[in-house]
Structure 1
Amino acid sequence: MRSLANIFWLGTKEIRSFIHDYVLLGLVLWAFSVAVYAQAQSSSQELHNAAIAIIDEDNSALSRYVIEGFYLPPYFKPPELINLRDVNRLMDNGRYTFILNIPLHFERDVLARRQPAMQVNVDATVMVQAGIGAGYIQQILTTQIRNFLSRSERAPPSPVKLDIRIAFNPNVTTSWFTSVMGIINNVTFLAIILSGAAVVREREHGTMDHLLVMPVTPFEIAMSKVWANGLVITLAVGLSLSLVVRFLLGIPIAGSIVLFLFGVMIYLFFATAIGIFLATIARTMPQLGLLYLLVATPMNVLSGSNTPLESMPRGLQIVMQASPSTHFVSFAQAILYRGAGLDVVWPEFLAVALMGGLFFGLALFRFRRVSAQTA
């Protein structure tokens, strides 16, 4: 009971120190509010208001039917008709991202099964829209031409109809993914920074010597920093999901936020241990920041939050199974996107807890050695 009391009161000291550190307090508020909102709204991966122009040299019923297919707000702006001689000038000026050229005798050649060619000029400096938009244009052209031929009774209807059903994100809206993944990445970022800064701050302010001469053990000091910083981040995650993601962005959460926060607390046991471990190596805050870049950045990039784990080389997939961040992203997506319950995610919880406990033991061993040298 005395040890628990020491851990509790040392933790409250950490919380008071955090509240009075306006830089770290501002960092937490920014990371779970403005940063999440900005990431959700600015990194769109779908087509939105793309500028398109069309050169209609055929001026036939088919060409007009094709043009009607591009009145698809908010994917494309209303298409504008231009002359062939203006293509180079308009593309050089960046006026349009796409220019579609419907050639002369297009309808006649299509009905005669001559497979005429259509040209699409794409401004690839608008990288995301250029890649996605070219696929949209091809799909629209295929659909419009097939429908026109079916209505003209010159071609039989397609024997196969593809019925696409998209689960969990029906409109394939990027912000539904990036907002939650932004919160998940910030959990790792702030857990390492806050716990590491707590140890470095003690050393820089000279209060570490005071702690070591008190009747407390290195384990109690380390655990107080773990629970205090973990509590701060868990509360920030819960508020961010409720206020920023659900209320401000209007993004639905399929699963239980309480279950997810329970998983966050398990993962923070590991992430804060990394911060303490790095703080025993770094002597100053700048050194801690550099070590963070070497450790946390690969963890976030390779965890599956940005790129699916299945898209990585097989060897890298096996290696990343030893990282709790991979399992954290896995159960976070399962709970928040697919509404999974504890019966589905408990193996991921167990893996994170076991690896977190192992790494906490390593961090505690290193912390005790450094404390003994300081004493």
Structure 2
Amino acid sequence: MAGLVIHLQNILRLVVKELRSIRADPVMLLLVVYAFSFAVYTVATGVKLEARDLTIGIVDEDRSEFSRTLLGAFGPPLFKISKRIAPGEIDSEMDSGRLVFVLEVPPNFQADLQAGRQTSLQLNIDATAMTQAGNGAVYIQQIVAQEIANLQAGRETTTALPINLVVRARFNPNLDSGWFSSVMQVLNNVTLLTIILTGAALIREREQGTVEHLLVMPVTPVEIMLAKMLANTLVILVAAVASLVLVVEGALGVPIAGSLPLFVLGTAIYAFTVAALGILLGTLATTMGQFGLLAIPVFVVTQLLSGATTPMESMPVWLQWTMRTLSPTPHFVAFSQGVLYRGAGLDVVWPEIAKIAAICAAYFAFALARFRKVIFT
């Protein structure tokens, strides 16, 4: 028992030392503050997945009442520019980027529709902006279908349907991508900055030679490693919670549906896991530059294949299995979405927490073995 108390006291003192080192590094502190405040806000408000302010040109070779009505249907706020253009202007307008969509209405289109003859419209799309092009094409198809239905019905109403389809979007009723991107940005920052802070703390001591001071002190490798991981996990945890409360919920107005203490618990376990990964990368690199070159591809791969950017279900089965086995990030994303978006409780998300903890144990054991070999031999 006395030995355990001594170990805990050593860890506490080392944690305080690490926190003072972080406080003495204003650049790193500024990075943490920026990443969890301004960066989260700008990503949520500036990076929109919805199609807005689209530009469309209509090549009207029909010159009918329907084509004139169709031009009027493409108005704000969805479309900021809708105009008639000549057939010879299609290439120049799209090549210059002034128009993203061009809809060609062939001659006698309205007459063919009313006579029941087969006809077609051609929609040209600038697909260099894939999200805008894909979503915009769906909106245009819906608008055209609505106008055709109105024409065939002979009035400005839709044809009566035998059912009443009521659509309710749960957890994000306005389908605002900012609700999604703001929370995902916080999760991404937890991963990135925990790796950077923990690995940089180790590399900095190795470069400055202060790690030798620890070697002559009555502390063990486990105590040193735990102190670095706990101190940086604590800093990231405080920053992430403050970002959720002040930026996401306060400034952006995104409701947090679930329990904040439960999110803190899961995030603490995840950040501790990623801190072990930061220590591991720090033992593989000898300089800060090498550490950065190692950390960047690790972060990019874990984030792109975590389910935060694209759905896990869209990936090959073998890749899904690999990521869920080797990386804690997919489990953390699933846990966070369940708690923050859907208000899930511990009875729902405990499997994800358990998986993160299991991966944490493996990461910690591997990182500790490397830490002992590189630092203490």
TM-score surpassing 0.5? yes
**SS of the residue aligned with 2:355?**
helix
The CA deviation string for residues 32-82 of structure 1, in whole angstroms up to 9 with x for no partner, is 1222223223332211101123344444443344334323x3211253334
Aligned 8 A contact 2:258 2:342 in 1 = yes
**SS of the residue aligned with 1:99?**
strand
Name 1:363's counterpart in structure 2.
367
The alignment's C-alpha RMSD in Å is: 2.2
Aligned 8 A contact 2:150 2:159 in 1 = no
**SS of the residue aligned with 1:339?**
coil
Equivalent of 1:229 in 228, 232, 240 = 232
Partner AA of 2:103 in structure 1? L
| Structure 1 residue 159: Cα displacement | 4.3
* Alpha-carbon distance between aligned partners in 2 of 1:205 and 1:191, rounded to the nearest angstrom: 21
Q: Does 2:91 align with 1:104? A: no
Q: Does 2:197 align with 1:189? A: no
Q: Does 2:127 align with 1:90? A: no
* Alpha-carbon distance between aligned partners in 2 of 1:347 and 1:367, rounded to the nearest angstrom: 30
Aligned 8 A contact 1:191 1:275 in 2 = yes
| Residues 86 and 321 of structure 1: CA distance in aligned 2, closer, same or farther (over 3 Å) | closer
Higher mean displacement: 351-360 or 294-303: 294-303
Higher mean displacement: 168-177 or 217-226: 168-177
Partner AA of 1:357 in structure 2? A
**SS of the residue aligned with 1:101?**
strand
| Structure 1 residue 327: Cα displacement | 0.6
Partner AA of 2:323 in structure 1? M
* Alpha-carbon distance between aligned partners in 1 of 2:42 and 2:90, rounded to the nearest angstrom: 35
Aligned 8 A contact 1:69 1:140 in 2 = yes
Name 1:174's counterpart in structure 2.
177
TM-score normalised to the size of structure 1? Answer: 0.91
TM-score normalised to the size of structure 2? Answer: 0.91
* Alpha-carbon distance between aligned partners in 1 of 2:299 and 2:91, rounded to the nearest angstrom: 46
Q: Does 2:318 align with 1:309? A: no
Name 2:355's counterpart in structure 1.
351
**SS of the residue aligned with 1:80?**
strand
* Alpha-carbon distance between aligned partners in 1 of 2:184 and 2:159, rounded to the nearest angstrom: 47
Name 1:131's counterpart in structure 2.
134
* Alpha-carbon distance between aligned partners in 2 of 1:353 and 1:123, rounded to the nearest angstrom: 46
Aligned 8 A contact 2:59 2:103 in 1 = yes
| Structure 1 residue 157: Cα displacement | 4.1
Name 1:256's counterpart in structure 2.
259
> For this pair of structures, how many residues does the alignment match?
371
**SS of the residue aligned with 2:58?**
strand
Name 1:19's counterpart in structure 2.
23
Name 2:145's counterpart in structure 1.
142
Aligned 8 A contact 2:71 2:83 in 1 = no
- Percentage of matched positions with identical amino acids: 50
| Structure 1 residue 357: Cα displacement | 2.0
Deviant stretches of 4+, over 6 Å: none
| Residues 350 and 197 of structure 1: CA distance in aligned 2, closer, same or farther (over 3 Å) | same
**SS of the residue aligned with 2:238?**
helix
Name 1:214's counterpart in structure 2.
217
* Alpha-carbon distance between aligned partners in 2 of 1:169 and 1:346, rounded to the nearest angstrom: 24
Partner AA of 1:213 in structure 2? V
**SS of the residue aligned with 2:118?**
coil
Name 1:240's counterpart in structure 2.
243
Q: Does 2:323 align with 1:325? A: no
Partner AA of 1:53 in structure 2? G
Aligned 8 A contact 1:197 1:279 in 2 = yes
